[in-house]
Amino acid sequence: MKLKDKVCLVTGAASGIGEGIARRYIEEGARVAIADLKLEPAKETAEQLSAMGPGTAMGVAMDVSDEAAVNRGVADIVKAWGGIDVLVSNAGIQIVHRIEDFPFAEWKKLLAIHLDGAFLTTKACLPHMYAKQAGSIIFMGSVHAKEASPLKSAYVTAKHGLLGFARVLSKEGAEHGVRANVICPGFVKTPLVDKQIPEQAKALGISEKAVVEQVMLSGTVDKEFTTIEDVAEIALLFASFPSNALTGQSLVVSHGWYMN
Ligand code: NAD
């Protein structure tokens, strides 16, 4: 098992990609803190995944944009399991508007969840990783960390920002054995994307089928969605890589939508 007894914090793990990463880590023997906005869904997911084994999970209530909530959640995990080995900063939302129509409050909300969330969870976990001279921090980027699409100014800005943050962290963390990397998925069918399809159809004045075929998948090599399992496999690679050679990187998993 690649993550036996490793303590992993995955944010936004009650749903979608975060849940899939938690599931993959538990298959590899990890102890996973399922952190999400509300305790009940986090606990439900943790119970389901714990029952699966061989690893184990616990639910944690954590709004990643709230410093006190993040610090409290991380302290609870450390108290229960003695440290943090892996952080997956995954919690995220999508809000689509043209720039001229983007409500400032919604711009700030999106940046707070993606960027403040990455900063606050990293800041809270680092002392525990530095104490052990080891750790892996993984940020959930997107193809939108490298590409742009209309209507997604806040999201594209946030995801580009994560690349810079991960690069600084990889330089600061190196002497303490802490690695930082970014996963950049293409479109994955999760509640976040299901919500976007009708919103984009309305905003662009096209059908929902056209959003999927012409907006979401037109640039891929095979017109396929990336899957949660695809993303979880990359998250396992970054978490379990055996040396500091793999740091400061961003890996695109998108059916060839973006190639570099
Ligand atoms: P999702 O909506 O299924 O899951 C997101 C989770 O984050 C939810 O459980 C939600 O409750 C939680 N969350 C939202 N705000 C939070 C907060 N303030 N604090 C803690 N938790 C919070 O979405 P998903 O598609 O699984 O997205 C997960 C990540 O993957 C996001 O960062 C997203 O930007 C990224 N991503 C998604 C896709 C895709 O196509 N689905 C593609 C590339 C990147």
* CATH code of the domain covering residue 41: 3.40.50.720
- Please give the tally of structural domains in the chain: 1
Residue 221 domain flag: no
Confirm or reject: Cβ of 257 under 6 Å from ligand 1: no
Residue 73 domain flag: yes
In the block, tokens 């995220």 appear at 92
Question: Which residues does residue 226 pair with via DSSP β-bridges, in sequence order?
Answer: 188
**pTM attached to this predicted model:** 0.98
Confirm or reject: Cβ of 188 under 6 Å from ligand 1: yes
156-210 pLDDT, tens per residue? 999 999 999 999 999 999 999 999 999 999 999 999 899 989 998 998 899 999 9
Confirm or reject: Cβ of 69 under 6 Å from ligand 1: no
**Which residues are tagged catalytic?**
155
Residue 162 has what pLDDT? 98
Residue 46 domain flag: yes
Residue 259 domain flag: no
Domain containing residue 157: 7-186+227-253
**H/E stretch holding 183:** strand 178-185
Are 62 and 77 in contact by the 8 Å Cβ rule? The answer is no
The pLDDT > 70 percentage for the chain reads 100
Residue 1 domain flag: no
Geometric angle at alpha carbon 197, from 223 and 200, rounded to 5°: 110
* 73 Cβ neighbours under 8 A, 6+ residues apart: 9, 33, 35, 60, 61, 62, 124
229 has a pLDDT exceeding 90: yes
Residue 206 domain flag: no
Residue 214 domain flag: no
Residue 32 has what pLDDT? 98
Residue 246 domain flag: yes
Mutate to test the pocket of ligand 1, among 93, 139, 193, 252 (most ligand atoms within 8 A of CB): 93
58-100 pLDDT, tens per residue? 999 999 999 999 999 999 999 999 999 999 999 999 999 999 9
Residue 203 has what pLDDT? 87
Residue 56 has what pLDDT? 98
Q: How confident is the model at residue 129 (pLDDT cuts 50, 70, 90)?
A: very high
Q: What mean pLDDT value characterizes the chain?
A: 97
Residue 33 alpha carbon to ligand 1 centre in Å: 16
